[in-house]
Amino acid sequence: MAEKVQPNNGHSIRARHEFRGIRTVEHYFTVPLDHETDSEGGSGETISVFAREYSSAEHTPETASRLPWLLYLQGGPGGRGNRITSLSGWMKAAAKDFRILMLDQRGTGLSAPIERQSLERRGDAEAQAEYLTHFRADSIVADAEHIRAVLDSGPWTVLGQSFGGFCALTYLSFAPEGLREVLITGGLAPLQGPADRVYRATFRRVAARNAEYFSWYPEDRELVTRIVRHLEQQPEFLASGERLTPERFQMVGSFLGGNSRVDSLHYLLEDAFIETGAGQRLSESFLEQVRVLVSRGTNPLYAVMHESIYGQEEATNWAAWRVLRDYPEFEPDAAEPLLTGEMVYPWYFEQDPSLVPLREVAGLLASKKDWKPLYDTGRLAANTVPVAAAVYRDDIYVDHDLSLETAAAVRGLQPWVTPDFHHDGIGEDGEGIFGRLLGMVRAAR
């Protein structure tokens, strides 16, 4: 049901819907682009931030309106809030006792989305880079606090997945008064140190995951090398027009970060070659599947902002690209090249058509030396908000050892270390993981 509600304090509701046991409400909030400037009495630029409210139709509308809020912070950076068509997993469990606010973090989805076309409106590359400095975790947290006040909510529960967990740590650092309890899945960020230490840990874990995968599918070891050598010698083009390079093909290692998803890598690779009149070539089916995996067309913000999530008062300077030199087994010319993952390299902005226009902006952000701190270690050491975090022992994206280092630095944070899940564990058993973490924080009261 569409409706027009006059904005109240920068808040409007555009539509409500009910289907398959879900009620949704579409919220739009007007927030400052720069919360820090606005707090000093300014009346600067604003942006629109979108959030969709989900509740279970098992509750009457009146009962649902009295339920406490749970704010979900999605992974990323650059990932919009989940669009669901039925309640399942962690959302099914949460909807029994909460109204869920699914936030499109600024720059994603319907919240001032960042794409080449929208950035062009900002001016030259320097102006675009300056604009993007307002799209990190500190601004996302400030948006959340603004929204909480507009909704007249007391301290709320926050669930942060991956980068959403990073944001939750920032929330605990700068606005803990807004938090009743915090649940984190695969998202305990390192609180200090250069980005280099993150990628050293990442490359070690991705190498180990390659070894594990090839022990399950030994035939794929030769096949991956064969594809890389083929791409070195034979031009193959994606449907979007660009040549598929060996290093870009290696990005299909993103499958390695999943529980069941890892086995889908085998099904992708088995589609690789097809006989043609000119000999064996890569199949159209394979090339199209790869194109979807290696393009950042749907979330360019991920590539542009990814390393900045580790930037604190120093430049990241393409940390993953620099650290890669110490791990030659990932180079395409290695005897048996390994698959990579979600790390970002400068050549992304030369080979991905959706990123080429953002090359200069990305370079400026990589060289930025004065990033503001994302965490207050003193405040975290004195934390009083109940926090529970799922730490996945073999997570290739958020390192187990670095996660436990952070857990020890946050007073009262309870880590649940498990070998049963990888980075996307919440998608495998979201109901069980949510229930366990919620039980941990409630028991800690």
- From first to last of the 445 residues of the chain, give the pLDDT tens digit: 444 444 568 999 999 999 999 999 999 999 999 998 876 555 689 999 999 999 999 999 999 999 999 999 999 999 999 999 999 999 999 999 999 999 999 999 999 999 999 999 999 999 999 999 999 999 999 999 999 999 999 999 999 999 999 999 999 999 999 999 999 999 999 999 899 999 999 999 999 999 999 999 999 999 999 999 999 999 999 999 999 999 999 999 999 998 878 999 999 999 999 999 989 999 999 999 999 999 999 999 999 999 999 998 889 999 999 999 999 999 999 999 999 988 999 999 999 999 999 999 999 999 999 999 999 999 999 999 999 999 999 999 999 999 999 999 999 999 999 999 999 999 999 999 999 999 999 998 7
Beta bridge partners, 103, equal 51
Assigned token pair, 276: 């043609």
Please identify, among 366, 386, 417, the residue that sits at the C-terminal boundary of a domain: 366
Does residue 228 belong to any structural domain of this protein? Answer: yes
How far CA 141 is from CA of 32, 72, 88, 245, in Å, comes to 12, 12, 27, 38
Q: Which of 56, 70, 76, 67 is nearest to 101 (CA)?
A: 70
The answer to whether the beta carbons of residues 144 and 87 sit under 8 Å apart is no
Same domain, 433 and 285: no
Report angle CA 31, 33, 35 to the nearest 5 degrees. 80
Same domain, 27 and 128: yes
Write phi, then psi, for 152 (nearest 5 degrees): 60, 40
Does residue 3 belong to any structural domain of this protein? Answer: no
Report angle CA 421, 427, 429 to the nearest 5 degrees. 65
Please identify, among 366, 398, 420, the residue that sits at the C-terminal boundary of a domain: 366
359-366 vs 125-132: helix crossing angle, rounded to 10: 60
Q: Which domain holds residue 342?
A: 195-366
DSSP structure class, residue 309: G
Q: How far apart are CA 350 and CA 363, in angstroms?
A: 12
Same domain, 220 and 299: yes
Residues 6+ apart with CB under 8 A from 386: 181, 182, 412, 441, 442, 444, 445
Does residue 5 belong to any structural domain of this protein? Answer: no
Does residue 62 belong to any structural domain of this protein? Answer: yes
The answer to whether the beta carbons of residues 327 and 207 sit under 8 Å apart is yes
Residues 6+ apart with CB under 8 A from 8: none
Same domain, 103 and 227: no
Looking up residue 128, the CATH number of its domain turns out to be 3.40.50.1820
Q: How far apart are CA 137 and CA 238, in angstroms?
A: 34
Q: How far apart are CA 223 and CA 218, in angstroms?
A: 9
pLDDT at 258: 86
Does residue 398 belong to any structural domain of this protein? Answer: yes
Q: Which of 27, 30, 26, 25 is nearest to 9 (CA)?
A: 30
Q: What count of Cα atoms within 13 Å lies in the side-chain half-sphere of residue 102?
A: 20
The answer to whether the beta carbons of residues 395 and 422 sit under 8 Å apart is yes
Q: Which helix (H) or strand (E) holds 179?
A: strand 179-185
Please identify, among 347, 366, 385, the residue that sits at the C-terminal boundary of a domain: 366
Same domain, 246 and 353: yes
Same domain, 187 and 215: no
Write phi, then psi, for 105 (nearest 5 degrees): -60, 145
Q: Please report the DSSP string for 55-77 in residue order.
A: EETTS-HHHHTTSPEEEEE-STT
The residues that are catalytic are 162, 370, 423
How far CA 407 is from CA of 171, 172, 383, in Å, comes to 15, 13, 12
Does residue 1 belong to any structural domain of this protein? Answer: no
Q: Which helix (H) or strand (E) holds 391?
A: strand 387-392
Q: What count of Cα atoms within 13 Å lies in the side-chain half-sphere of residue 9?
A: 7
Same domain, 258 and 388: no
Same domain, 266 and 144: no
The answer to whether the beta carbons of residues 244 and 272 sit under 8 Å apart is no
The model's pTM: 0.95
Neighbours of 296 (CB within 10 A): 20
Same domain, 206 and 147: no
Beta bridge partners, 12, equal 28
> How far is it between the farthest Cα atoms of the chain?
71
Q: How far apart are CA 408 and CA 187, in angstroms?
A: 14
How far CA 370 is from CA of 39, 133, 218, 375, in Å, comes to 21, 10, 47, 15
Total tally of structural domains belonging to the chain: 2
Same domain, 275 and 380: no
Q: Which of 55, 89, 181 is nearest to 426 (CA)?
A: 89
Same domain, 354 and 265: yes
Helix runs in 251-358, H state only: 261-269, 284-294, 300-305, 319-324, 348-351
pLDDT at 95: 97
Q: How far apart are CA 420 and CA 159, in angstroms?
A: 20
DSSP structure class, residue 106: T
Q: How far apart are CA 235 and CA 248, in angstroms?
A: 13
Does residue 127 belong to any structural domain of this protein? Answer: yes
Q: How far apart are CA 277 and CA 439, in angstroms?
A: 62
The answer to whether the beta carbons of residues 92 and 20 sit under 8 Å apart is no
Same domain, 232 and 362: yes
- In 8-143 the beta strands, taken as DSSP E runs, fall at 11-19, 22-32, 46-56, 69-73, 99-103
